[in-house]
With several copies, the nearest count.
Chain A
Amino acid sequence: MRIFRPSTRGDYLMPTITTLRDAVAEHVHDGDTVALEGFTHLIPVAAGHEIIRQRRRDLRLVRMTPDIVYDQMIGAGTASSLVFSWGGNPGVGSLHRFRDAIEKGYPHPLAIEEHSHGGMSVRYSAGASGLPFGVLRGYTGTYLPQHTNSISTIQCPFTGESLAAVSALNPDVGIIHAQQADRDGNIGFWGILGVQKEAVLASRRSIVTVEEVVDTFDSRVRVVLPSWVVSAIAVVPRGAHPSYAHGYYERDNSYYREWDEISRDRNSFDEWLQHHVYDTEDFAQHLAMTPDLAGV
């Protein structure tokens, strides 16, 4: 019996509106499979920093598009494996910490489970649906199935056609950033929607950081996750920086470019890590060091 829900019911349960520190302490454990999702928009960067700050280890990180925050988490040594479909610094180039881990095993080896976007999105949908696998047209002729055990083939029982099958993703923890929570603990977001709904619904536990708590959702809200599928909510203004929150702030493109320099060298990365994460109490202190944040 698959129950993807914060806890067994009986007693009425609403997500705790708590600090991000407490949410990560309670819900993210060493060795967990953890998905921080956000498709260029609403990336849960603050949550990633908090996981680093609490020095989690041996995580199996999942994300369609690991970018800067995953580069940071991998460079900081939180992860022993990565499940993904595209890893890069969008519009800039490589992720140097990610490459250092894969190419040189630094700070330690990173096992990878590699897919395409189509395959990953089907895996999340299957996970959110309580199915053990999903089906798509793809992978045939590519070398991905030779390296990835979670890709197989399946025959249509009606037409005999052969199709790709991928195993479901069911992370221990799904983490997303949203624009708003209401006072009942429902989550609302809009703009580019990505795979965030599926990431939460496929996961056993979930943490949502939000820009603010409101009495009534903005009329632009397009996806609502009811309170009872969320484990914990933390209010973290600008918690998606350097990505953006539609209607709140824009993408900080200079940060993406600057990250290329910081991350290229192990020492400059370690300095950044110490100064911006380990020596800070929370994401707000890190943001305070970042000049010229673009307003909307």
Chain B
Amino acid sequence: MTMVTQLDIETDLTFTADEIMTIVASRELSDGDVVFVGIGIPSTAANLARLTHAPKVVLVYESGTIGTKPTRPPLSIGDGELAETADAVVSVPEIFAYWLQAGRIDIGFLGAAQLDRWGNLNTTVVGDYDNPTVRLPGAGGAPEIAFNARKTMVVLRQNPRAFVDHLDFITSVGHYEGHDSRSALGAAGGGPSIVITDIGVLRPEALTNELVLVSLHPGRTIDEAVSGTGWELRIADDLATTAPPTAAELATLRELSGS
């Protein structure tokens, strides 16, 4: 046991952007949370939480696997490993109707190509819809996750192409036009509660629901955050520094990722 502790202490505590984003995201999850996850950082973060501080987090994938406990990172949302280790496997119509839409998901975990200051997401198109500059993959399950999960988490690298002042297309609704405009739409869930980037963490401000910078990752600066944002980014008065990854977090993540 002493050996293991010693090995942990000797883990290289430098980390990549993906690693800090994944670790910060995993910390947001608690035992008993039911999390609707997509592939990539959301899936890795949810599994990291499950293998560290939140063994009873419940993972749901849109492929219809409920309560999955993969032993390796799934390669796609429909990986066979997800079905093998699930408590239940249901059809795609059922996962959207009986599970997501019914309000059984605590946390929806989303990525995007673009995001605005209200946490609205674009995964459809850059430029004109009928004559696009870049055609993106489209909505997938994100609009319903964004609409119906009790809250959502967004993971996205912070740069001016992604953090834009105006979205060409709203694929998934965040806090819409700010203030109470989201609930006025009839959205069931509460919308984005956190946006985790490679630079820091943003959260919606009380009342306005505008995303403000509340934390910087170790070594990152306000200037980097501001220049990475296409709107006039506001900074929280009590701006924090993100707790650095622990040796245990990094070791588990690297084992999970096979890196």
B69-90 residues with Cβ-Cβ distance < 8 A to A are 75-80, 82-83, 87-90
Main secondary structure of the interface of A (DSSP, over half): loop
Residue A224 at the chain B interface, CB threshold 8 Å: yes
Q: Name A100's closest neighbour in chain B (CB-CB).
A: B135
Q: Which of under 10, 10 to 19, 20 to 34, or 35 or more describes the interface residues of A?
A: 35 or more
Chain A residues with CB under 8 Å of B34's CB are 9, 228
Given the interface contacts A2-B188, A129-B102, A130-B102, does A192 sit within 8 Å of B93 by beta carbon?
A: no
Picked from B39, B58, B63, B140, the residue with its CB within 8 Å of the CB of A116 is B140
Interface window among A50-58, A132-140, A259-267, A271-279: A132-140
In angstroms, Cα B12 to Cα A13, docked, is: 36
Contact A130–B103 (Cβ < 8 Å): yes
Contact B79–A115 (Cβ < 8 Å): no
Chain B residues with CB under 8 Å of A121's CB are 92-93, 96-97
Residue A64 at the chain B interface, CB threshold 8 Å: yes
Residue B139 at the chain A interface, CB threshold 8 Å: yes
Query: Please, what's the 1-or-0 string for A1-32, where 1 marks a CB less than 8 Å from any CB in chain B?
Result: 11111000111110000000000000000000
Residue from the set A94, A117, A193 with the largest chain B CB neighbour count within 10 Å:
A117
In angstroms, Cα B172 to Cα A7, docked, is: 28
Given the interface contacts A141-B185, A193-B91, does A130 sit within 8 Å of B101 by beta carbon?
A: yes
Residue B163 at the chain A interface, CB threshold 8 Å: no
Contact A142–B80 (Cβ < 8 Å): no
Residue B49 at the chain A interface, CB threshold 8 Å: no
Given the interface contacts A94-B137, A191-B83, does A138 sit within 8 Å of B147 by beta carbon?
A: yes
Chain A residues with CB under 8 Å of B230's CB are none
Contact B106–A9 (Cβ < 8 Å): yes
Residue A40 at the chain B interface, CB threshold 8 Å: yes
In angstroms, Cα B56 to Cα A230, docked, is: 16
CB distance from A2 to the nearest CB of B (A): 5
Interface window among B25-33, B213-221, B232-240: B25-33
CB distance from B76 to the nearest CB of A (A): 5
Contact B39–A136 (Cβ < 8 Å): no
Contact A4–B104 (Cβ < 8 Å): yes
Contact A137–B32 (Cβ < 8 Å): no
Contact B92–A142 (Cβ < 8 Å): no
Residue B245 at the chain A interface, CB threshold 8 Å: no
Contact A12–B132 (Cβ < 8 Å): no
In angstroms, Cα B87 to Cα A94, docked, is: 32
Residue A281 at the chain B interface, CB threshold 8 Å: no
Contact A136–B91 (Cβ < 8 Å): no
Residue A122 at the chain B interface, CB threshold 8 Å: yes
Residue A232 at the chain B interface, CB threshold 8 Å: no
CB distance from A8 to the nearest CB of B (A): 9
Contact A201–B150 (Cβ < 8 Å): no
Picked from A64, A147, A251, the residue with its CB within 8 Å of the CB of B76 is A251
Contact B64–A142 (Cβ < 8 Å): no
Picked from A5, A116, A130, A250, the residue with its CB within 8 Å of the CB of B142 is A116
Chain A residues with CB under 8 Å of B19's CB are none
Chain A residues with CB under 8 Å of B258's CB are none
Given the interface contacts A141-B185, A251-B79, does A86 sit within 8 Å of B32 by beta carbon?
A: no
In angstroms, Cα B170 to Cα A140, docked, is: 10
Chain A residues with CB under 8 Å of B194's CB are none
Residue A106 at the chain B interface, CB threshold 8 Å: no
Chain A residues with CB under 8 Å of B173's CB are 140-142
Contact B101–A137 (Cβ < 8 Å): yes
In angstroms, Cα B91 to Cα A222, docked, is: 11
Residue B124 at the chain A interface, CB threshold 8 Å: yes
Contact A226–B89 (Cβ < 8 Å): no
Query: Please, what's the 1-or-0 string for B116-148, where 1 marks a CB less than 8 Å from any CB in chain A?
Result: 000010001000010011110111111110011
In angstroms, Cα B115 to Cα A153, docked, is: 26
Contact A118–B96 (Cβ < 8 Å): yes
Chain A residues with CB under 8 Å of B169's CB are 143
In angstroms, Cα B171 to Cα A143, docked, is: 6
Picked from A137, A193, A251, the residue with its CB within 8 Å of the CB of B89 is A193
A47-88 residues with Cβ-Cβ distance < 8 A to B are 64-65, 84-88
Q: List 22 A-B contacts (CB under 8 A).
A: A3-B103, A5-B104, A11-B31, A11-B32, A12-B32, A40-B77, A41-B80, A64-B92, A86-B140, A87-B138, A103-B133, A116-B141, A116-B143, A118-B96, A121-B92, A130-B102, A138-B147, A140-B185, A141-B120, A194-B64, A195-B92, A229-B104
Chain B interface residues (CB < 8 Å from chain A): 30-34, 39, 56, 58, 62-67, 75-80, 82-83, 87-93, 96-98, 100-104, 106, 120, 124, 129, 132-135, 137-144, 147-148, 150, 169-173, 176, 182, 185-190
Closest 5 CB pairs of A and B: A40-B78, A12-B32, A88-B137, A130-B102, A118-B144
Given A122-B96, A137-B147, 5 other A-B residues pairs in contact with their CB atoms under 8 A: A91-B76, A102-B135, A125-B93, A141-B182, A192-B80
